[in-house]
Amino acid sequence: MTGEKLKGAEIVVEELKHEGVEVAFGIPGGVLLDLYDVLYQDDALRHILMRHEQCAAHAADGYARVSGKAGVCIATSGPGATNLVTGLTNANMDSSPVVALTGQVPTAAIGSNAFQEASTFTITMPVTKHNFLVTRTEDLPKIIHNAFHIATTGRKGVVLIDLPKDVLATRVHVELHPKETFASYKPKIKPNPIQVKKAVEALVNAERPLILAGGGVISSEATEELRYLAEFLGAPVVTTLMGKGSIPENHPFSLGMAGMHGRLYANRAICECDALLAVGTRFSDRLTGWQLDQFAPEATLIHVDVDAAEINKNIQVDIPIVGDAKLALQELIKWLEKKRATDMGSNVWVQRIKAMHSACEACIRDVQREGASLSNMIIKELSRILDDEVIITTEVGQCQMFAAHYYLTKKPRTFISSGGLGTMGFGFPAAIGAKVAAPDKRVVDLAGDGSFLMTCHDLATCVENDIPVVVCIFHNCYLGMVRQWQELFFDKKYSGTRLGTTPDFVKLAEAFGCYGERVEKPGELKDALDHAFESGKPAVIDMIVGQEDKILPMIPPGGSVIGMIGTEQCKLI
């Protein structure tokens, strides 16, 4: 062992930099003084001080989803760590690679109910892919290396490292940058060739093949392969919420998002197909509806997923392929090409897809469509105004589903939304992370007034750190999605959903030092967005929409993909 002794905190920072970490979102605290002392002296690792730990986790999550690299967040012991939990759960549920560092009371005090002590290790166990409680400074290099390895490989996820104060303060001789990984962690990423050949056979024999793309396609950078396969097979692509961006939604074979608030024709295609190739999706209930026997009833189901535990979990499939989405798609393409058959989807099917695609696109382009609500017109206008490079993040609820349904996403990693957990307050801090990951891109958070108020304090973070994101609020004075359900299924009894007096969001923005503007007509939106971007400041655009606007069509509770309600707005073909 050579060289001088290093402090635990120095080891942490050295190893973070070695793992390629450039930025961390966090809030310090008593037990983290040693770590922050090292960060103070180190310019290579940027620390962004957030105003709430939940936002630190969401920002790290947003950063990860946009960059494809692990996002890092830091929180102190006790309340700092417990505040992180929502953000970590959210990231883990959407398989987003995040590494969280938490401070902990000194090892000798653990279990004594010390000041700001919480059992972060046990609290975060069920909401992370893995977590560590470090008890010896010497273990730090190996643990940090493994944390990043676990977070970013296989099915990606969250890894938390709990760091007691004495572990950070102790000086030891230690070998940095170990390469050793855990023997028991070997994610299976190479697909089984026998299964691939079975899938190829099923796809070749299908007359109406369909591809269902989930977040795994984006996560494994398989979007090029997906598009090639769709064109080669003559198979349309429907996506999950997490899969939005896996194929350009203006591509003639794209039918948009399927599921509960998905497009009518995306769900129709699921019902009509005779072979369904599902890639990187876990068949969540928001996709399948509740009557599983009506989900792709005529289809041979092929399921590609890197997590073997997702196979046959929510839906029984015919041909499972466990492996990385990119590798699996490459293998499928290789074997399909050997069959030398192109345009295997029947011509009738391809024509039908194109007609369905055009019907949806015409509906989206038609901003002033008769009977359209203000929310509806605004989201269509946004889709028209914002270019392909803009990164959209969303809050959760109506604003999110308006965005998922109507906003045409053209590129992967430009639509960032809380899928599995459905966390209100996610979109804005995720936008902060997105903007830090891609400073040259414009980042817009599509928010609701209810959601935005959950995390809006981090406008201060944006101003202080010069992170000019734009928040567009669908301002309807209600918790809109729950209100919509109360309107449709609970006799319009708006219990606990009326927000009443909402803040003046323009003044709120200005109070933080941001740019603010109100929009009362969709036609004013373009100018407001121009002003917001030109201001160079973080901005809030307060978009006044109808209080009883609804996002339709939808699958009603208990329904199936074939039983959507509120389809009057859809162009029927």
Partner 1 sequence: MQTHIISLLVEDHPGVLTRMSGMFTMRGINITSLTVSPCEKEGLSRMTVAIDGSEQELEQVRKQLSNLIEVVKVVDLKEDEAIVRDLCLMKVHVKDSNARSEVMQLAESYGAKIADAMLDSVILELTGEPKKIDRFVELMKHFGIKQLFRTGVTAIGRGVAGGIER
> At its nearest, how many Å lie between partner 1 and the CB of residue 310?
8
CA 119 to chain centre: 28
Site string for partner 1, 145-164 (x = CB under 8 A): -----x--------------
Active site residue 489: no
Of 10, 14, 15, 53, the catalytic one is: 53
In the residue annotation, 242 being an active-site residue is answered as no
The CA–CA distances, whole Å, from 389 to 245, 414, 438, 439 equal 12, 7, 10, 12
Q: What 3-state DSSP class applies to 24?
A: strand
**Distance in Å, CB of 396 to partner 1, minimum:** 22
Among the residue ranges 230-238, 244-252, 302-310, 516-524, the one whose residues contact partner 1 (CB under 8 A):
302-310
Region from 57-65, 177-185, 359-367, 491-499 binding partner 1, contact rule CB under 8 A: 177-185
Smallest distance, Å, CB 195 to partner 1? Answer: 16
* Run of H or E including 520: none
Closest approach of Cβ 311 to partner 1, in Å?
Answer: 8
Comparing CB distances to partner 1, the nearer of 308 and 570 is 308
Q: Is 165 a catalytic residue?
A: yes
Separation between Cα atoms, residue 525 and residue 382, nearest integer Å: 8
**Min CB(558)–partner 1 separation in Å:** 21
Rounded-to-integer distance, Cα 219 and Cα 156, Å: 8
Catalytic residue of the set 116, 291, 547, 569:
116
Q: Can 116 be counted among the known catalytic residues?
A: yes
Q: Residue 565 carries which DSSP code?
A: B
Q: Hey, how many other C-beta atoms are within 10 angstroms of the C-beta on 411? A: 16
Q: Which stretch binds partner 1 (CB under 8 A): 182-190, 275-283, 378-386, 414-422?
A: 182-190
Q: Does residue 121 bind partner 1 (CB under 8 A)?
A: yes
Binding of residue 293 to partner 1 (CB under 8 A): no
Among 112, 122, 205, 342, binds partner 1 (CB under 8 A): 122
Rounded CA-CA distance 29/35 in Å is 10
Nearest-CA neighbor of 12 among 57, 64, 68, 72? 72
Segment 310-349, which members bind partner 1 (CB under 8 A)? 311-313
Q: Applying CB under 8 A, which of residues 23, 39, 133, 469 lies at the interface with partner 1?
A: 133
- Residue 53 annotated in active site: yes
- Diameter over CA atoms, the chain: 76
Number of residues engaging partner 1 in binding (CB under 8 A): 18
Q: Does 550 bind partner 1 (CB under 8 A)?
A: no
278 DSSP β-pair partners: 212, 303
> How far is the C-alpha of 522 from the C-alpha of 435, rounded, in Å?
26
Distance CA 25, CA 465 (A): 11
Residue 126 found at the interface with partner 1 (CB under 8 A): yes
Name the one range near partner 1 by CB under 8 A: 20-28, 29-37, 123-131, 282-290.
Answer: 123-131
138 binds partner 1 (CB under 8 A): no
Catalytic residue (choose from 5, 17, 115, 334): 115
Dist CA 211 CA 236 (whole Å):
6
Three-state SS letters, 372-390: CCHHHHHHHHHHHHCCCCC
Instruction: Give the containing element (helix H, strand E) for 564.
Output: none
Distances (CA, A) of 488 to 481, 554, 557: 11, 11, 11
Cα angle 516, 517, 522 (rounded to 5 degrees) comes to: 145
**Per CB under 8 A, 183 contacts partner 1:** yes
- Name the residue nearer to partner 1 (CB basis): 184 or 501: 184
Using CB under 8 A as the criterion, which residues of the chain lie in contact with partner 1 when the complex forms?
121-122, 125-126, 129-130, 133, 150, 182-185, 307-309, 311-313
Q: Residues with catalytic annotation?
A: 53, 115-116, 165, 481
